[in-house]
Amino acid sequence: MKSMIKQGVQPVVSHCRDEGDGRRPWSLLDKVLLGLTPRQYLEQAIRNPFNWILGAIFAVGLPLIAYRFLFGLSAVTHSSYDYPWGLFLAFGLFAMVPLSASGFMLGTTVEIFGRHDFAPIERLALLNGLLGYLFAVIYLLVDLGQPWRLPYPMVVAFGPAAVLFLVAWHVATYLSVQVAEVSVSFFEFMGWAGGKRFIRRIAVGLTVAGIILSTLHQGALGALFTYAPGKVHPLWYSAAFQWIHFFCSAIPGGLCMVIAVSTVVKKTMAWRCDGTFLDNLDRCTIGLAKGASMGLVTYLTIKLIGVAHDNEWVYLTTGWGAWFLFELAVGVVLPLALFAWAIHHQRVGLVRLAAFITIFGVVLNRINTALIAFNWQLYREIPHIFEVLICLTIFAIYVVVYRFILYRLPILFTWKAVESEVPEAVAETVRPVRAGGSVPAASAVYRAID
Amino acid sequence: MSGISRRRFLAASLAGCAATTLCGTQKALAAGSFTGYPEGMGVLVDMTRCIGCRSCEAACNREQNLPAPAKPFDDLSVFDETFHGGTQKRRPDENAYTVVNRYEPPGGKPVYRKVQCNHCNEPACLSSCFVNAYTKTQEGAVVYNSKICVGCRNCMIACPFNIPGYSYSSAFDPVVKKCIFCHETRLKNGRPPACVEICPQQALTFGKRRELIKIAHQRIHNEPGRYVDHLYGEKELGGTSWMYLSSAPFEQVGFDVAVQNEPIIANVKDFLSTVPMVLAIWPAMFTGFHLLAKRRGGHGHDDDHGGDHAASHGEEGGQS
């Protein structure tokens, strides 16, 4: 795409072509093809080496997924009775969901606490939340014995005393909430002003619903393991605090995922970002890192309280203890120290590195709880190679969908209003201008298109 | 305050109330403890009598129409089979609802332990199931409804005895496979399960659970040298319908003696109780934060919060 722009192609940012010949509107196909001709689009797609890597993954992985659905789980997993939850859930569900806490975190920051200085990154955080959940559900569908029965806990049979019942309901409702939150960008893209106005009106309600649902199901994913007191190693198990451990680590997990994704975006698709996003990114990153640090330090504290509460100090001297301390040292203490130093010295690059390490820490914690330290008294289960490949393939699909949306919907850039929308937009902007002389350009522009 | 806020507040309160009512039922189902149906049946396994003939395995296989095993039931070499680097003995799976394993406790003769679903009074599989596929029947069996099972396998995670198996090899109708106490064919009509009926050694005693507890303690009392003074399953995990007597310490013959005496659902109740509280309190709390974070226009309370001022004023401007 970068070379296309060099040739003079302008990516779509509004409903109309910005040409001399009198505002010819883009068709939907034009918008989807980013304003390129089909030929140009194909050319740039083929030129991108990353697409070749994705293609290679799909060539192996997609047949494997078909194989799994045609011949059952035993075709691609070890079909373990002792480890009924394998990598699909350990990575796909238990690790993807905390990394998707970004949606409700930034929603709260901007909509509830009114910190509109974080607005330039809010949409990315919302999208990250939506896609993370969506793909967690897709991983779940691959893992379920009878995926076509997924709606059963909603309509056919209810087990309301089960933690998984809460997870199912909350993930389903939260997915709908996130679709509504992200739909603002879609309505802008389609030019449906009415839909956008409606969502804006219920934004606070949606955000509060998001906080409730996130608190409960992030916690519920942890509470699921309290069903298995003898199976999860005591250091990763805490009957009293498991759900708070999971909820609390989701906060730095979600925030750092936004930092990580925005880093990748800045490196690989800067052409798609507008000034508002790029100029505010470093400042927002530091802000997110401050939030993540607070989450991490709280998490570290309550993890240690968990060890103290159940008097598990003696386990720290065992091999399991060393692995537990490694998880905490590398996944929590190291990023915490890096964040502290980097925030103090305003070193954004280091903040980004620390964010990637935090993500590693959160993922390691979930895989430890669900797989490695699970059945600690039995034996270790090494996932089947097909299971690993399917996990990788679904992650690649996630990346493709993520990129597809970022290229098109106004997540990283501001959709330019056309005449018909202008009066409305102006009416909204007038008041902020009255409010203070020190309006930062970025957020004013953002409000204008809101 | 504007009308919109009031309406929003009312709507939020209503939603909160509705949610609390809804969760009231959840709480009620989760609360209280259940110690089994008074007339529930059970089986007492006296491991001192078992000779490891495997006829119970054969009877189960026949009764439940399970596929023929790789080795015939009179082949005793299965006792030497180990799995996963020699750490694991045989376990029940999709093709066998019960297995007998041999243990050699130090300084004693071999002990044979029959493994099958213990039919807990308050089963972990049942409480973890989000579609309520499991039922504890009045007769004492824990049965499973394959028609509504989604296949999440949370029951296998939750079962403290690692009992449920899953027919992973089936692509279109995989289901959980476990001992159902011969509920449909026998227990419902007051008959003992197939394994009990066939046992040549009377190692398995079928009867009302509360009677079996008395019988077991009587046996320990009468022959203190023969038995360890413990009835496994009387208290473990809230009590199980199948209970065990042993000559060797239970940890030497494959039992997990570290299990809790409370049923598994006790571990989850704390979390479940926070759910209605979060649903009820969060809406008001965060809507309140939102109202507090919005500044009233024109009062000049400008402090040092920098850039967000103008924008938050803008937000308010849109509503007042």
Q: What is the pLDDT of residues A80-109, one digit of tens each?
A: 999 999 999 999 999 999 999 999 999 999
Q: Is the pLDDT of residue B285 over 60?
A: yes
Do A363 and A424 share a domain, yes or no?
no
* Amino acid in position A322: A
Whether A159 sits inside 8 A of B129 (CB atoms) is yes
Domain assignment present for residue A125? The answer is: yes
Single out the residue of A133, A121, A70 nearest to residue A96, CA to CA: A133
Partner residues linked to B113 by β-bridges:
B101
Domain assignment present for residue A195? The answer is: yes
CB of A440 less than 8 A from some CB of B: yes
Question: How many residue pairs from chains A and B have C-beta atoms closer than 8 A?
Answer: 240
Distance CA A252, CA A291 (A): 7
Q: Is the pLDDT of residue A206 over 70?
A: yes
Query: Which of chain B's residues have a Cβ under 8 Å away from the Cβ of A77?
Result: 168
Do A407 and A424 share a domain, yes or no?
no
CB of A448 less than 8 A from some CB of B: no
Partner residues linked to A374 by β-bridges:
A232
3-state secondary structure of A16: strand
pLDDT confidence band for A210 (50 / 70 / 90): very high
Lowest mean per-residue pLDDT among A206-220, A344-358, B282-296: B282-296
For residue A27, give the DSSP letter.
Answer: P
Residue B129 Cα to chain centre, angstroms: 8
Report chain B's mean pLDDT, rounded to a whole number: 85
Identify from B308, B316, B319, B320 which residue to disrupt to test chain A contact, counting A C-beta atoms within 10 A and taking the largest count. Answer: B308
Domain assignment present for residue A356? The answer is: yes
Single out the residue of B263, B233, B225, B238 nearest to residue B250, CA to CA: B233
Do A332 and A371 share a domain, yes or no?
yes
Distance CA A242, CA A225 (A): 8
Identify from B268, B274, B281 which residue to disrupt to test chain A contact, counting A C-beta atoms within 10 A and taking the largest count. Answer: B268
Do A136 and A99 share a domain, yes or no?
yes
Work out the minimum CA distance from A112 to partner chain B, whole angstroms.
4
Q: What is the mean pLDDT of residues B195-223?
A: 95
Contacting residues for A364 by C-beta, under 8 A, at least 6 apart: A327, A330, A331
Identify from B9, B27, B87, B131 which residue to disrupt to test chain A contact, counting A C-beta atoms within 10 A and taking the largest count. Answer: B131
Whether B309 sits inside 8 A of A435 (CB atoms) is yes
- The Cα diameter of chain A in Å comes to 77
Q: How confident is the model over A343-386, as pLDDT tens digits? A: 999 999 999 999 999 999 999 999 999 999 999 988 888 899 99
Identify from B267, B278, B289 which residue to disrupt to test chain A contact, counting A C-beta atoms within 10 A and taking the largest count. Answer: B267
Distance CA A427, CA A433 (A): 11
Do A375 and A423 share a domain, yes or no?
no
Single out the residue of B194, B180, B207 nearest to residue B118, CA to CA: B180
Written as one string, the DSSP assignment of B203-265 is -EEEEEHHHHHHHHHHHHHH-TTTS-S--BTSSGGG-BSEEEE-SS-GGGGT--TT--SS-TH
Token pair belonging to A141: 């569908």
Nearest to A227 among B157, B278, B279 (CB): B157
CB of B290 less than 8 A from some CB of A: yes
Report chain A's mean pLDDT, rounded to a whole number: 87
Do A90 and A188 share a domain, yes or no?
yes
Domain assignment present for residue A145? The answer is: yes
Q: What is the mean pLDDT of residues A150-154?
A: 90
Q: Is the pLDDT of residue A435 over 80?
A: no
Domain count, chain A: 2
pLDDT at B12: 60
Do A264 and A363 share a domain, yes or no?
yes
Domain that holds residue A283: 81-415
Do A282 and A340 share a domain, yes or no?
yes
Lowest mean per-residue pLDDT among A347-356, B2-11, B218-227: B2-11
Q: Is the pLDDT of residue A441 over 60?
A: no
Query: β-pairing, B41-46 with B242-245?
Result: parallel
Do A410 and A423 share a domain, yes or no?
no
For residue B105, give the DSSP letter.
Answer: -
For residue B171, give the DSSP letter.
Answer: S
Per the CB < 8 A criterion, the answer to whether A75 and B170 are in contact is no
Per the CB < 8 A criterion, the answer to whether B310 and A440 are in contact is yes
Do A279 and A324 share a domain, yes or no?
yes
3-state secondary structure of B187: helix
Do A332 and A440 share a domain, yes or no?
no
Work out the minimum CA distance from B259 to partner chain A, whole angstroms.
7
Domain assignment present for residue A32? The answer is: no
pLDDT at A17: 64
Q: Who has greater pLDDT, A279 or B12?
A: A279
pLDDT confidence band for B309 (50 / 70 / 90): very low
Distance CA A171, CA B269 (A): 21
Distance CA A340, CA A337 (A): 5
- The Cα diameter of chain B in Å comes to 92
pLDDT confidence band for B9 (50 / 70 / 90): low
CB of B29 less than 8 A from some CB of A: yes
CB of B294 less than 8 A from some CB of A: yes
Nearest to B152 among A108, A144, A166 (CB): A144
User: Angle, to 10 degrees, between the axis of helix A275-309 and the axis of helix A334-344?
Assistant: 140
Q: What is the mean pLDDT of residues A113-120?
A: 91
Fold for domain B41-267? Alpha-Beta Plaits (3.30.70)
Domain assignment present for residue A67? The answer is: no
CB of A379 less than 8 A from some CB of B: yes
Token pair belonging to A322: 């060393």
CB of B320 less than 8 A from some CB of A: no
CB of B254 less than 8 A from some CB of A: no
Q: Please return the burial class of A53, using the count of CB atoms within 10 Å of its CB with bins 0-12, 13-18 and 19+.
A: exposed
Do A341 and A443 share a domain, yes or no?
no
Domain assignment present for residue A110? The answer is: yes
Whether B84 sits inside 8 A of A108 (CB atoms) is no
Nearest to A82 among B162, B286, B317 (CB): B162
pLDDT at A363: 97
Domain assignment present for residue A253? The answer is: yes
Q: A243: domain CATH number?
A: 1.20.1630.10
Q: What is the mean pLDDT of residues B49-63?
A: 95
Q: What is the mean pLDDT of residues B180-201?
A: 94
Query: Which of chain A's residues have a Cβ under 8 Å away from the Cβ of B319?
Result: none
Phi, psi of A288 (to 5 degrees): -60, -40
Whether A239 sits inside 8 A of B8 (CB atoms) is no
